[in-house]
Structure 1
Amino acid sequence: MSLVNTSTSHCLSKAIAEDGVSIVYEDLGHGEPLVLLHGVTESHESWHEAGYVEQFLQRERRLILIDCRGHGRSGKPHDPAAYSGRRRAADIVAVLDHAGIRRAALMGHSMGGVIALATAVYHPDRVSALIVNGAHPFAEDLAPLRAAFEDNFEAWLAFLKQLVPDLSPDSCRRIRGNDLAAVQASLARDGPDFAAAFAGPGIPVLAISGTLDPRCDAARKFAELAGGEFLPLVGKNHVTAFLDVETIRPVIDEFLGCVSTRNTGRGG
């Protein structure tokens, strides 16, 4: 099923998750697949705005940009149970199946990074590599986030503008356009600890974090645990680390190039 994304003039597709929730995604380019998963209150459009899409398409990658459940044009259940790691991981598999993709590299920022990690835990055979920015697999108290969404999105916007004073009007529009009850449901449960699943060699990992992000130490610890790579972005916070495309992109190119070479050497 397809529909038109009027904001980007691209065609969107819709997969149906195992619990019936619609998951909307954009499928662009040709080459090795890379799934892009956005942060809380954002949508797949954030990857366009930040410049990732243009950069990656120039490198002959097939990009799958997903509106995570509860966000963008995807379904927005109000039941906290609908936002378990298992359910969110199944969403990614539903999209891969719908797009005819057997395995893909997953790249996620913040919430999207946690979803990428959950997918690797529950469906490791579908994940060729993990790139997570501002995320980790350790337990996390989400009470501060829940507090930011008690009444509306204004407290959250005020917090983001402390991190990025020139937050774009499009980003503000996307954030205010969210379904508050769905966002609250998605944050109702604290982040679980599933770090044990990444102990030792396994799926190749690139962890990224701004050094001013409170999650930086956990991201570094995750990279060490998984035997992966760690990219610290000096002087960047949780949001500006996502926006630093010029620094991140060449590191990702090298990382994914090594993954591709390794997979080719193993016969795919």
Structure 2
Amino acid sequence: MADFPTETTLHSFKGVDGAPMAWHGMGPEDGRPVILIHGLFSNAQTNWVRYGHAAKLAAKGRRVILPDLRAHGQSAKPHDPSGYSSDILADDNLALIDQLGFGAGDYDLGGYSLGGRTTARMLVRGARPGKAMLAGMGLEGLLDLGGRVSFFRKVLEGIGTHQKFSPEWMAEGFLRTTGGDAKALLLLLDNFPRIQRASLTELSLPILVLTGSEDQDNGSARALAAQLPNAGYVEVPGNHMSAVTLPEMGDAIANWF
């Protein structure tokens, strides 16, 4: 059994197009808010609650806000292309910030993998947290999405056919544990915008770049930190899949926020 709290409260909000979305809360309601965004094929519970990361922030008195991205968790999973558009994930979560009434500097913001990319897009599109975090993300994962999108498309289009123990088979296995919706996720893959290198150099707020020491899935985290004018850089043990399950990841997040 987990030796940390795993109970969260479930809340609803409206996506940028009015779609029904979900976020999960932990910690005191009057604590300083920190919004954490999960990765592709995952959900808030798997990414942040299961391994104790959210509990470590809540123990510091933080109000932890954990949205389920569109096509994930308990949020909307449209099967119509009209439910997706360029920057839909960033815009959904900007809508969440607006509906919660947070002003500039009133909250902190971070994400893992796709959540890190979404965080970066939110910053470029006007989000103004006090601090931010890009975890499980490298420079190439923001500038050029081709390889990763192709990999995940192959996973989703070939469900049930992947060679045992291949990277695709492993990714499909993870998708099954989170109850992912392949049709919705395929539509989402068409709407991952790139980020311009020049946009990164304009992000002057403190940003933690956090990575597993063996994680190169989204390119070089160290190179990403070098592009940001006010970055911290922390390595923890593990690769892209294992680092997020280890206590060192939660410790680093709690130390930053």
With the length of structure 1 as denominator, give the TM-score of the two structures.
0.78
> Residues 220 and 148 (structure 1 numbering): CA distance in 2 closer, same or farther, change over 3 Å?
same
Q: Give the corresponding residue for 1:248.
A: 249
> Residues 213 and 160 (structure 1 numbering): CA distance in 2 closer, same or farther, change over 3 Å?
farther
Asked if the contact 1:78–1:182 (Cα under 8 Å) also holds between the matched residues in 2, the reply is: yes
**Distance across 2 between alignment mates of 1:157 and 1:124:** 42
One-letter amino acid matched to 1:179 = D
**Distance across 2 between alignment mates of 1:154 and 1:11:** 38
Number of residues of Structure 1 aligned to a counterpart in Structure 2? 239
**Distance across 2 between alignment mates of 1:156 and 1:75:** 31
How does 1:75-90 map onto structure 2 within 5 Å? 75-79=76-80, 82-84=83-85, 86-90=87-91
The answer to whether the aligner puts 1:139 opposite 2:141 as a matched pair is no
One-letter amino acid matched to 1:242 = V
Q: Give the corresponding residue for 2:124.
A: 121
Q: Give the corresponding residue for 1:197.
A: 199
Q: Give the corresponding residue for 1:5.
A: none
Q: Give the corresponding residue for 2:113.
A: 110
Asked if the contact 2:32–2:63 (Cα under 8 Å) also holds between the matched residues in 1, the reply is: yes
**Distance across 2 between alignment mates of 1:143 and 1:173:** 19
Q: Give the corresponding residue for 2:3.
A: none
> Residues 160 and 37 (structure 1 numbering): CA distance in 2 closer, same or farther, change over 3 Å?
farther
One-letter amino acid matched to 1:194 = Q
Q: Give the corresponding residue for 2:69.
A: 68
One-letter amino acid matched to 2:254 = D
Q: Give the corresponding residue for 1:22.
A: 20
**Distance across 2 between alignment mates of 1:195 and 1:80:** 29
Q: CA deviation at 1:230?
A: 1.3
Q: Calculate the aligned-residue CA RMSD, in Å.
A: 2.8
Q: Identity rate of aligned residues, in percent? A: 25
Q: Give the corresponding residue for 2:102.
A: 101
Asked if the contact 2:22–2:75 (Cα under 8 Å) also holds between the matched residues in 1, the reply is: yes
1:57-84 Cα distance to aligned partner (Å, 9 max, x none): 1111000010000111111123557545
Q: Give the corresponding residue for 2:41.
A: 41
With the length of structure 2 as denominator, give the TM-score of the two structures.
0.81
1:113-152 Cα distance to aligned partner (Å, 9 max, x none): 1111111111233x22221211242222111111011043
Q: CA deviation at 1:253?
A: 3.4
Asked if the contact 1:27–1:65 (Cα under 8 Å) also holds between the matched residues in 2, the reply is: yes
**Distance across 2 between alignment mates of 1:237 and 1:40:** 16
Q: Give the corresponding residue for 2:157.
A: 150
One-letter amino acid matched to 1:104 = Y
Higher relative contact order (CA 8 A, sep 6+): 2
Structure 2 stretches of 5 or more lacking a match? 1-5
> Residues 11 and 181 (structure 1 numbering): CA distance in 2 closer, same or farther, change over 3 Å?
same
Q: Give the corresponding residue for 1:185.
A: 187
Asked if the contact 1:41–1:174 (Cα under 8 Å) also holds between the matched residues in 2, the reply is: no
